[in-house]
């Protein structure tokens, strides 16, 4: 006999629990709090009348971190604990109760979920030991990296206001040279007072000689243009903008230090979890990607097959079919966003290192007429399957030619360059239009026409011919 315990967790209010039998009949309902006494009482009520061979299945929805303690408790008592994605339970809740929503109904729905949607149950992975620590560290690092990007974007916006053109001079990444300049002299008038020699000395020290007098002259030209632009105008206070730029630089430096600390911790944890270096053996996997994937994916042994691994990452296309009609498939994006981003970036590099993955990318671009992002997603799906095989079998990844023969890195790059290079013209013809182009009725190649058809997704010659014809017309 099997009993199901559905638990609707809350953050500040009481939790709700519902116990059902195998047929879905409600046996017990109660409120409880996260305490040992309440957990003991709930377990006793859920298992009352059960025999030694009976099984208790607990279904939880991961609300914040309040699910960890109940999951650990019931697992220690021999129960099987499953987690349900919030999106999935919400969809079922809409069908089950169209006009009413409360915690009691949510608990009952979770208890009956094994009957309604058994494939939607995922065994809970408790964040314990080095694996749990690595998951938290890489999650924290991802949040810090996103925050650093936001601060850099604020700097770009302020430079666009006060000193147009300086963004192009300092570069997209706003590295150490830009940070040293803007933290000390964010006011264009101060840049001019420093002069070329002192400004070049600051840049050389920050960039270890990469930026010298020519870069200083470019910065001074932007400063002169900014002073001339805003002379006698209101709307830009150089002194206040300089203070804001210095504050943003301080925040970026502090966040970069925290990111470096997370990198060091994650590297040590990965060495403990994967002493054989299986993650780092895959093409496109650097230290940061390897630690992110190891932390967010966990052990592949908890997945029944490779398809479940791909589904967990969200790197599979959804389907929308009815009769003979079918929609264009898109990625489900149902998994961990941090994990999916790391795998996408790894696939972007792996297609340049592995001939077999390069062939997948080439086929998507040349034969199927897909754009770059969709082709990389296909590579990401294949790379995810290979990652699962490597971890499951415990042997390092080998780069091989199309015929299966092992090749070294130089030979692999030569094969890719000779056989699977996508022409630049074909890549441009398959590039989807930007949102602004779509709103203005422009095609991807920039032609101002609302009636011209898009370039056909055929072979390279036809696509190039269509593009050239549109430009000529």
- CATH number of the domain residue 120 falls in: 3.30.420.140
- Comparing 458 with 296, the larger pLDDT belongs to 296
DSSP characters over 102-139: -HHHHHHHHHHHHHH-GGG-EE-----HHHHHHHHHHH
Q: Could you tell me if residue 272 is inside a domain?
A: no
Residue 448 has pLDDT above 50, yes or no: no
Q: What is the pLDDT of residue 283?
A: 95
What SS3 class is residue 335?
coil
Last residue of a domain, one of 100, 126, 152: 126
Residue 96 has pLDDT above 70, yes or no: no
Q: Could you tell me if residue 270 is inside a domain?
A: no
CB 265 within 8 A of CB 130: no
Mean pLDDT of the chain: 85
Residue 248 burial (C-beta neighbours within 10 Å; 0-12, 13-18, 19+): buried
> Distance (Å, rounded) from C-alpha 249 to C-alpha 243?
10
For 170, 266, 295, 297, 463, the CA distances from 301, given in Å and listed in that order, are 47, 21, 14, 11, 45
Residues 6 and 63 in one domain: yes
Residue 464 has pLDDT above 60, yes or no: no
Q: Could you tell me if residue 252 is inside a domain?
A: yes
Range of the domain at 443: 433-472
Of 74-78, 86-90, 269-273, 404-408, minimum mean pLDDT range: 86-90
What SS3 class is residue 90?
helix
Residue 93 has pLDDT above 60, yes or no: yes
Residues 16 and 142 in one domain: no
CB 282 within 8 A of CB 350: yes
Q: Could you tell me if residue 132 is inside a domain?
A: no
pLDDT tens, residue by residue, 161-177: 999 999 999 998 899 99
- Comparing 419 with 463, the larger pLDDT belongs to 419
Residues 284 and 322 in one domain: yes
> Distance (Å, rounded) from C-alpha 456 to C-alpha 433?
14
Q: What is the pLDDT of residue 452?
A: 45
> Distance (Å, rounded) from C-alpha 285 to C-alpha 19?
45
**Mean pLDDT, rounded, for 209-227:** 95
DSSP-assigned beta bridge partners for residue 20: 4, 26
DSSP 52: T
pLDDT tens, residue by residue, 31-52: 999 999 999 999 999 998 888 8
> Distance (Å, rounded) from C-alpha 265 to C-alpha 130?
11
**Mean pLDDT, rounded, for 416-439:** 83
> Distance (Å, rounded) from C-alpha 292 to C-alpha 298?
10
The residues, any chain, with a CB within 8 Å of residue 12's CB and separated by 6 or more, are: none
pLDDT band at 10 (very low <50, low <70, confident <90, very high): confident
What SS3 class is residue 325?
strand
Residues 248 and 226 in one domain: yes
Of 39-53, 201-215, 276-290, minimum mean pLDDT range: 39-53
Q: What is the pLDDT of residue 104?
A: 60
Residue 244 burial (C-beta neighbours within 10 Å; 0-12, 13-18, 19+): middle
In this prediction the pTM is 0.77
Question: In the chain, how many domains are there?
Answer: 4
CB 313 within 8 A of CB 335: yes
């Amino acid at each position: 006999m099997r009993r199901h315990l559905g638990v609707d967790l809350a953050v500040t209010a009481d939790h709700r629990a519902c116990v059902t039998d195998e047929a879905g009949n409600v046996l017990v309902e109660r409120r409880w709090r996260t305490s040992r006494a309440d957990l003991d009482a709930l377990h006793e009520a859920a298992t009352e009348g059960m025999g030694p061979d009976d099984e208790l299945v607990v279904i939880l929805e991961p609300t914040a971190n309040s699910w960890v303690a109940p999951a650990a408790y019931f697992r220690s008592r021999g129960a099987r604990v499953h987690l349900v994605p919030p999106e999935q339970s919400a969809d079922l809740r809409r069908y089950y109760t169209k006009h009413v929503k409360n915690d009691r109904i949510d608990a009952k729905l979770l208890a009956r979920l094994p009957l309604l949607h058994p494939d939607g149950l995922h065994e809970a992975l408790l964040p314990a030991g080095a694996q749990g620590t690595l998951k938290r560290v890489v999650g924290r690092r991802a949040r810090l990296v996103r925050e650093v990007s936001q601060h850099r974007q604020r700097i770009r916006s302020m430079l666009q206001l006060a000193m147009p053109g300086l963004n192009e001079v300092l570069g997209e990444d706003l590295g150490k040279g830009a940070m040293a300049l803007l933290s000390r002299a964010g006011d264009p008038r101060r840049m001019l007072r420093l002069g070329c020699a002192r400004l070049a000395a600051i840049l050389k020290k920050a960039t270890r000689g990469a930026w010298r007098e020519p870069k200083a002259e470019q910065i001074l030209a932007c400063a002169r243009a900014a002073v001339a632009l805003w002379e006698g105008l209101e709307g830009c206070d150089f002194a206040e903008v300089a203070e804001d730029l210095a504050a943003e630089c301080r925040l970026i430096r502090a966040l970069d230090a925290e990111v470096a600390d997370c990198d060091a911790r994650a590297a040590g944890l990965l060495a403990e979890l994967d002493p054989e270096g299986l993650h780092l053996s895959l093409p496109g996997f650097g230290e940061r990607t390897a630690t992110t994937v190891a932390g967010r994916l966990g052990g592949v042994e908890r997945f029944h097959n490779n398809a479940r691994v791909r589904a967990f990452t969200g790197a599979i296309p959804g389907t929308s079919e009815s009769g003979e009609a079918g929609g264009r498939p898109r990625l489900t994006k149902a998994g961990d966003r941090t994990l999916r981003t790391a795998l996408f970036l790894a696939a972007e590099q792996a297609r340049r290192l592995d001939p077999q993955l390069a062939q997948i990318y080439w086929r998507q671009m040349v034969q199927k007429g897909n754009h770059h992002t969709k082709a990389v997603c296909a590579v990401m799906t294949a790379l995810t399957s290979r990652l699962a095989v490597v971890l499951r079998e415990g042997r390092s990844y080998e780069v091989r030619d199309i015929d299966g023969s092992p090749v070294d890195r130089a030979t692999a790059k030569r094969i890719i360059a000779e056989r699977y290079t996508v022409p630049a013209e074909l890549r441009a013809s398959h590039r989807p239009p930007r949102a602004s182009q779509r709103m203005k009725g422009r095609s991807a190649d920039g032609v101002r026409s609302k009636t011209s058809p898009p370039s056909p997704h055929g072979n390279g010659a036809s696509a190039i011919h269509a593009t050239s014809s549109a430009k000529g017309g």
